[in-house]
Amino acid sequence: MENMLHSTPSHTSVPSSFVFPPEHLKPATSTAVSLPVIDMSGSCTEVINHGISEQVMRDMEAIGEEFFRLPAADKAGFYSESEDPNKATTRLFSNTTYETGGEKYWRDCLRLVCSLPVRDSVKDWPDKPHRLREVTENFMLLTRDLAMKLLRLLCQGMGLRPEYFEGDICGDHVIVDINHYPPCPCPSTTLGLPPHCDRNVITLLLPSMVPGLEVAYKGDWIKVKPIPQAFVVNFGSQLEVLTNGMLKSIEHRVTTNSAMARTSVVTYIAPTGDCLIGPAKEFLSEDNPPFYRTLTYREFKRIYNVVKLGKSLNLTTNLKDVQKMI
């Protein structure tokens, strides 16, 4: 637990292990921009009018913030820096997950995993704050339903059968990460999360109203302006592979600030480990051969984990290049 950033009431300096090389910290363009908005009430990337109430969203954000304010003794039993490479498990950890070349990053995270259909898996979750299980389970199921609805709309637009994403490709469990970024004494020297693309199929992000999310666009970092009551939707690497590059996974990072803590909540929809994923035949032709190898999701994650992300702007995270490294 001594590695948890939020356990220290205030930080006066950034430890050297968190400091990134200056060339990895290219600043974003000065103007914050809104992502393209999808209005779910009218058609099928920030999504509004999605059917999840504002109360559900605010309760989820509040319960996450409340968890990180708990005394250390109430959280210590869930702390683990090591991750089972073959199984997602509920745990509390700090500044791990992505390879950066050695630097740590300024984030603590509570990961909550729930098997489907929901049975007894929530019993492994923290029981404090007292509404955490109730609020998170409700949020998790609602956001998974929304993600599946978005995927069905994508199928409609891409000419895939509506049930294409049913079954192993969207997994037998759901993961929710509650990310907490404490105030940082020197934000210009470190990152909350390094440049990366999500490895899964699709991600729904409930962003904090405290800015911090940035996306890569035409060689620059663009600050994302949060929209109240909206989810940010990230297409994951598996969608890029499946569509043979027609849908690109979105490279993004998180910056820190010196004044305010930032808490965001992420729902990941991911395949089972043994699910075999490659370009779908609907996206292949004589003039458009497969650009990606067909791999199990477990093997894909193993390869992706060893890629040095560094200062990437769609360079070292380019999936075509990554798969050539096998």
Segments forming the whole domain that contains residue 150: 31-325
3-state SS class at 185:
coil
Quick one: pLDDT at residue 312? 54
Q: Sign (positive/negative) of CA torsion 174, 225, 109, 323?
A: positive
Residue 311 lies in a domain: yes
DSSP at 129: S
Residue 293 forms part of a structural domain: yes
Please report, as a single letter, which amino acid is at residue 150: L
Per the domain annotation, does 203 fall within a domain? yes
pTM over 0.75: yes
Q: Which two tokens stand for residue 171?
A: 């997994």
154 falls within a domain: yes
Tell whether 74 is covered by a domain. yes
Mean pLDDT per 10-residue run, the chain (326 residues)? 80 85 82 71 72 96 97 93 76 74 86 84 91 96 96 92 94 95 94 89 95 89 91 94 91 92 97 95 93 92 64 57 60
Task: Give the chain's domain count.
Answer: 1
Residue 11 lies inside a defined structural domain of this protein: no
Look at phi and psi of residue 95 and say left if phi exceeds 0, alpha if psi is from -120 to 50, else beta.
left
Which residues, 6+ apart, have CB-to-CB distance to 77 below 8 Å? none
CATH number at residue 315: 2.60.120.330
Model pLDDT, residue 316: 46
Residue 314 lies inside a defined structural domain of this protein:
yes
| 20 within a domain of the structure (yes/no) | no
Sequence length of the chain is: 326
DSSP labels for 195-236? EE--SSSEEEEE--SS--EEEEETTEEEEBPP-TT-EEEEE-
Rg from Cα positions in the chain? 19
| Edge-to-edge order in the sheet of strand 231-235 | 37-39, 46-48, 231-235, 202-206, 262-269, 173-181, 108-115, 91-94
Q: What is the pLDDT, as a whole number, of residue 197?
A: 87
Q: For residue 304, which phi and psi values (nearest 5 degrees)?
A: -65, -35
Dihedral sign computed on CA atoms, order 313, 36, 57, 240: negative
